[in-house]
Every structure is written in C-alpha cells, then in structure tokens.
C-alpha cells in the first residue's frame, strides 16, 4: 500500500494504526507548505487535495481519516481495533467524528490555516481565538468521556484512540492545555511501542 502523509499532521493517527497492525506500506511525503496537495499528480489520486490518502494493493485510493481508519480495522479484524458490538462501534465513530470533525476541523484548522477562514488579516487573531475556544471545549467533552477509563471506548485501544491522540499531540505542541483525563490518555498512548515508533519516524522526540 502507499500511504500519503505529512509528519506531525493528522496523518500521524493513521500512521499509528498502520504500525499497530504491523502492515507493510510505502510512505509518500506530501509537503503541504510547498503545495504538493494541489499538484495535478496528487489530485489525480485524491481530488480533494487532502491528507491522509491510502492507495490499497488493488490500486484504489481511500481518503479521509474516518474511512481509512474504519477500513483498516474492518480489514484486519483480529487485531481488535474496533469493538464488536454496535454500541461500541457507534461510540468509536462518535469519538472519531468529534476529534477529526470538531477539534481538528473546526478548532485546530482555524489556528493552523487561519487564512482559509478569513482572507482579511485583521480578522486572523479573532479566528485563531475562536479555534482555540472550540478545541478547548472539545477537549473538555473528551475529558468527561475519558473519566474513569483508560481508552476512548471500552477497555482497549481502538481506532478512536488514534484520532484522539493526534489532536492531543497538537495540543501539547501548542499552548492549548489538556484537561487531566486527556493528559493521562495522551501519556498512556505514548507508552505504546507503535506510537513511539511513529513519532520517532516522523522526527519527534518522545
Ligand atoms: N476530511 C479530511 C481532512 C483532513 C485534513 O484536514 N487534513 C489536512 C492536514 S492535517 C489537509 O489535508 N490539509 C490540506 C490543505 O490544507 O490544503 C480527513 O478527515 O482526513
């Protein structure tokens, strides 16, 4: 498989899942700052111009965090990255949607790609402040979900933990404080060999 990613981006979560599953894959770096995502060659693979993209062994491309994570978990079910029951699976989708759609898509996106939310530089400070507010509220919601448990859903690591981890990672590298249960979850994720390996490969010191 070919994995299109950028170190330190949301693709870190999918990178962790690929390593948790011990899969063999090629890494293709997408330099977002250089605009690789808009190059015709990349748009031919992923017309949305987003990362992550996973090109499977049959040559078809799968895009977006949730769909790639879901496909990985369903394709290698023995690794147990998804609960078996409908309630557990729905909770996994609930956490992933919140982490990727709200905390990342509405919160951190305003902080990292402010100009996409307003072309007017005079508004950028307000856009960033709103992004920070959304991210902080999002972590407060997850803090309550994590109360009294080690993982986002049930009693074992799932694809939801990978989604939550990458936004927690971003928080620790910005000035957004993580509430106690999120901080404990983040620290727990850092003890996983696959997580440590991915961060090291992506150029971070654990
Ligand atoms: N809906 C996509 C969005 C992911 C996303 O926003 N990725 C960012 C990087 S973390 C991206 O592709 N940015 C491209 C750009 O800003 O041009 C998903 O769920 O994977």
Residue ranges per structural domain of the chain? 2-79, 86-192
pLDDT of residue 28: 98
- Does the beta carbon of 10 sit less than 6 angstroms from any atom of ligand 1? yes
User: For ligand 1, what atom is nearest to the CA of residue 100?
Assistant: 19
pLDDT at 205: 87
pLDDT along the chain (206 residues), means of 10: 98 98 98 96 98 98 98 96 97 98 98 97 98 98 97 96 98 96 98 98 92
- Ligand 1: residue of 51, 69, 104 to mutate (most ligand atoms within 8 A of CB) is 51
How far apart (Å, rounded) are the C-alpha atoms in residues 51 and 47? 11
Q: Which fold has domain 2-79?
A: Glutaredoxin (3.40.30)
Q: State the CATH architecture for 86-192.
A: Up-down Bundle (1.20)
Minimum-distance ligand 1 atom for the alpha carbon of 113: 16
Q: Is the CB of 100 under 6 A from ligand 1?
A: yes
pLDDT for res 15:
98
CA separation for the pair 78, 57 (Å, rounded): 20
Those residues with Cβ within 8 angstroms of residue 176's Cβ, 6 or more apart along the chain or in another chain: 132, 135, 136, 139, 170
């Amino acid at each position: 498989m070919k994995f299109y990613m950028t170190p330190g981006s949301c693709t870190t979560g999918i990178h962790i899942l690929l390593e948790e599953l011990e899969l063999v894959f090629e890494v293709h770096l997408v330099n977002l700052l250089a605009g690789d995502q808009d190059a015709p060659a990349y748009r031919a693979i992923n017309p949305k111009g987003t990362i992550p993209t996973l090109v499977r062994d049959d040559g078809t491309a799968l895009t977006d965090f949730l769909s790639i994570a879901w496909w990985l978990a369903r394709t290698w079910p023995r690794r147990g990255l998804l609960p078996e029951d409908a309630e557990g699976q729905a909770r996994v989708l609930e956490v992933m949607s919140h982490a990727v759609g709200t905390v990342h898509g509405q919160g951190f996106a305003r902080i990292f790609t402010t100009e996409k939310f307003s072309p007017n530089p005079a508004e950028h400070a307000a856009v960033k402040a709103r992004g920070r507010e959304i991210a902080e509220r999002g972590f407060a919601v997850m803090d309550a979900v994590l109360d009294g448990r080690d993982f986002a859903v049930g009693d074992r690591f799932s694809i939801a933990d990978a989604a939550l981890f990458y936004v927690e990672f971003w928080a620790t590298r910005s000035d957004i404080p993580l509430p106690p249960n999120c901080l404990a979850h983040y620290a727990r994720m850092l003890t996983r060999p696959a997580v440590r390996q991915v961060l090291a490969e992506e150029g971070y010191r654990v």
